[in-house]
Structure 1
Amino acid sequence: MPYVTLPDGAQMFYKDWGAGRPVVFSHGWPLNSDAWDVELKLAADAGYRAIAHDRRGHGRSEQTWTGNDMDTYAADLAALVEALDLTDVIVVGHSTGGGEVVRYAARHGEARVAKVATAGAVPPLMVQTDANPEGTPLSAFNDIRAGVLGDRSAFYQELSAAFFGTNREGSIIPQADRDQFWRLGMQVGLAGAYDCVKAFSETDFTADLEILAERGTPMFVAHGDDDQIVPIAAAARRTAELVPQAQLKVYPGAPHGIAGPYQQALDQDLLAFFAS
């Protein structure tokens, strides 16, 4: 299996499928690169070089005690892109991965990144503050940390309902998708899972988005309007305000998890953005 050595010596797993212009995918918490498999194949079949990594602490990557923060995640992504010597890159991030690709593109990727796409992404800031009243209260993230430290197997099973919106009347997302969420979640190291909650909820990406806006970096911002994990008001809608050139696409009734009709529509929109 391919690995890249990170600046601190940690080993990070990645997939590298196809050939052509590189598209690099970053996954959400508490998943790994397997969550992008459908999109990886679609991109590779469409003539792109599709790459996805397991974030440190997740999946097959090394479970480090330190470095489970957004600055390090972005630096890890930079190490992967540089090791593969990728240029004219399109980066795509879901949820936490959306924050990772935004920070990477802003702080490390000026010479390498051509486009940025996010789906259900955490920028500009998830946690509620006086300046971000539409954010999610800190108590909700404390509950997540408590769930991770408690019976995390049961917690991931329960969380998968809100993640995919199966707690909504009329949901057609199968139990198998929830089972896959649990399976990938159980591969995360405990320290990485716990620390990543702070990384995705309390990191402020406003300055990063402002950098992308100033550069004029093309950006596609996708979000479901029934996202129960990363509510759209403080996320995609605010991102689109900060990045005037961003294309905001709202998917009516779509949840946080990329599955079902939402996945089918998003995948076609991503391919169109890649080709634009």
Structure 2
Amino acid sequence: MDLDVAPGVRLRVVVEGQGEPVVLLHGHSLDLTVFDDLVPALVDAGFRVVRYDQRGHGRSSSPPGGYRWGDHAADLRVVLEKLDAVPAHVVGLSKGGGIALEAALRFSSLVRSLVLVGPLVPDYPLPGEFWAFFKRLAQAIREKGVKHAAQELWLSHPLLRSAWENPKSREKLETIVFNFPAGEYLATEKDAPDRDWKLTERLQDISCPVLVIRGEHDIPEFHQMAEFVANKLPQAHLETVPQSGHLVPLEQPDRLTALLLRFFESVRIRHSSL
């Protein structure tokens, strides 16, 4: 289905199963299909699984502006409210983890629990060379198109390399990335700041249960961010998935699913004892 979430913004949404809602938020340049291998087990376990392509991704709209953390968090709020899926277990991969954190601070009533998989943490001080790569990627996309930029730069980047080099996930990853509409890179409007606070300074305000997951072979910056949020969040627990890089849902879907189901059960037990 398609849902209108803001003026000029329509999101592709897929809902499967019945029960407690779980929403899966993909990462940068990806789409909802990155979670394909997780959904059957979650549905079988009695969850209602919600996935959508974020603005500027997949089959959703690519507006000329509106790509701030707050815009993505607001989209999540509208999706969950329109689907009567509140509160939800919110699972975010990479940038999706940042959106989950933003939503937990702005709209805490939406969130039953958080699972942050290799989270990109808003306002975390990453080194200049990290962001310099994405400036080069943006330039390549604008000058030569997404497929060329993906082949020359993005698929071989350490964040994607292990999934790209894995025969089991390579074809799916290529399909997703080659069809990335690059909305944010091609935006024609500059977004003004929409908050005067830093998320990194407010993590202690998130009180729901949190599971932080990182791939064993993820890059150092993402290991550091996973440890940072796990240490700062009051109810957080950190798990490391062996034999996986950054894209755990593609590289180790069964191990990730097992961690999710165990965590959701612990949240259920905690709630029933209150």
The CA deviation at 1:259 is: 5.1
What are the equivalent positions in structure 2 for 1:14-163 lying under 5 Å apart? 14-108=13-107, 110-128=108-126, 137-151=130-144, 152-157=146-151, 158-161=153-156, 162-163=158-159
Cα 1:52/1:43, change in 2 over 3 Å:
same
1:255 pairs with one of 240, 245, 256: 245
Is 2:216 aligned against 1:225? yes
CA distance in 1: counterparts of 2:75 and 2:229, whole angstroms = 24
CA distance in 2: counterparts of 1:140 and 1:68, whole angstroms = 19
Cα 1:43/1:114, change in 2 over 3 Å:
same
Counting matched residue pairs gives 256
Is residue 117–residue 221 contact of structure 1 (8 Å, CA) maintained in 2?
yes
What whole-Å deviation, never above 9, does each CA across 1:169-189 have from its counterpart, x for those lacking one? Answer: xx9721x52232222123332
2:255 pairs with one of 226, 249, 265: 265
Is residue 40–residue 51 contact of structure 1 (8 Å, CA) maintained in 2?
no
Question: SS at 2:212's partner residue?
Answer: strand
What whole-Å deviation, never above 9, does each CA across 1:91-131 have from its counterpart, x for those lacking one? Answer: 000011111111112101x22311000101101545536xx
CA distance in 2: counterparts of 1:242 and 1:150, whole angstroms = 41
Is residue 33–residue 54 contact of structure 1 (8 Å, CA) maintained in 2?
yes
Task: Provide the alpha-carbon RMSD of the alignment.
Answer: 2.7
Structure 1: 5+ residue runs without aligned partners? 130-134
Cα 1:98/1:194, change in 2 over 3 Å:
farther
Cα 1:147/1:127, change in 2 over 3 Å:
farther
2:203 pairs with one of 209, 229, 235: 209
The CA deviation at 1:87 is: 2.3
1:132 counterpart residue number:
none
Cα 1:263/1:194, change in 2 over 3 Å:
farther
The two structures have a TM-score, normalised by structure 2, of 0.83
1:190 pairs with one of 182, 189, 211: 182
The two structures have a TM-score, normalised by structure 1, of 0.82
Structure 2: 5+ residue runs without aligned partners? 192-196, 267-274
The CA deviation at 1:210 is: 2.6
What whole-Å deviation, never above 9, does each CA across 1:63-106 have from its counterpart, x for those lacking one? Answer: 21111221101100101011112223100000111111111121
Identity among equivalent positions (%) equals 26
1:179 pairs with one of 139, 147, 171: 171
Is residue 77–residue 110 contact of structure 2 (8 Å, CA) maintained in 1?
no
CA distance in 1: counterparts of 2:89 and 2:201, whole angstroms = 20
CA distance in 2: counterparts of 1:80 and 1:143, whole angstroms = 33
